[in-house]
A = this chain, B = another copy of it.
Amino acid sequence: MNIALLGIGRMGLPMGRRLCEAGHTVHVWNRTRNKAEALIPYGAHVHESPADAAKLADVVITMLDHGGVVAEVLFGLGTADAMREGSLMLDMSSIKPIEARDHAARLSERGVDYLDAPVSGGTVGAEQGTLAIMVGGKAANFERALPVLQAMGRATHVGPTGSGQLTKLANQIIVGATIGVVAEALLLCERGGANMGKVKEAITGGFADSRILQVHGQRMVERDFAPRARMTVQLKDLRNALATSAEIGFEAPITSLFEQLYADGVAHGLSDLDHAGLFVELASRNGMS
């Protein structure tokens, strides 16, 4: 298939490589051209503008920082106008559900189809082609996109346009909140005289087990808060989730508490820690370190 991939960053680079290796013809563009050139050895064609990359494509994939950048690339830099009628826009960036629905409506006026398809799994998932891809939009478009999506991970069609982004927010709520829950439980044990590492070991494998306990719980035991996903990014995700909750009239007391706790952590100078650094915020409230 003829694919355009716009945005060759930490995620876009391994995703582009996998698309090339799956045998697709891949046209790429990035604001900083040299990042896109890293895909030339895999057979990708580098273009000077997103419109140039998009004009021949059956599917245009965006992997950009936030909704504002996606809107700028699609509607400010002429990508939408360059896309062929009947082609498919596959936005794999993490943006707000309301932005996704807006972009879908504007593309629909030009005869371009749309799916929102944000991912979870990070750069490791992108490299290994094991991303969890959460897809919102029409079922027929999902079927059409499957051969492309399957080169990058496991795709699930979760509902109409915007549902993929909503699911990504749900994912981020669960990740951010579970970090806090695990941190508070481990700190309670340590305050009571137990060995935190042994506590983690004891409860792993039971009903308290989670990816967060295994990965971020271990970071807490080792006091290793070197950033993978930063506190500020987690806070942004929770704020997006609360904004979306407010838009659709949903009361979210749990998300609200965790938004407050991450905000407290950021206010106390923990911005650049890994999101597991919420442990440090909860510890310092208790005079622990």
Contacts and interface: CB of A to CB of B under 8 A. Distances in A.
Interface in A201-227: 201-203, 205-213, 215
A166 B192 contact: yes
Contact of A156 (B175, B177, B198, B261): B198
Copies in the complex: 2
Contacts of A245: 188
Given A120-B203, A159-B198, A171 B208 contact: yes
Interface stretch (A11-19, A68-76, A246-254, A266-274): A246-254
Contact of A132 (B159, B203, B251, B286): B203
A237 to B, nearest CB: 12
B170 A254 contact: no
Interface in A144-160: 154, 156-160
**A interface residue count range (under 10 / 10 to 19 / 20 to 34 / 35 or more):** 35 or more
A203 B172 CA distance: 10
Interface stretch (A50-58, A80-88, A179-187): A179-187
Interface of A: 97, 120-121, 125, 132-134, 136, 154, 156-160, 162-163, 166-167, 169-171, 173-175, 177-178, 180-182, 184-189, 191-195, 198-199, 201-203, 205-213, 215, 241, 244-245, 248-255, 257, 261, 282, 285-286
7 contacts: A121-B206, A158-B202, A159-B194, A163-B192, A166-B194, A173-B185, A178-B208
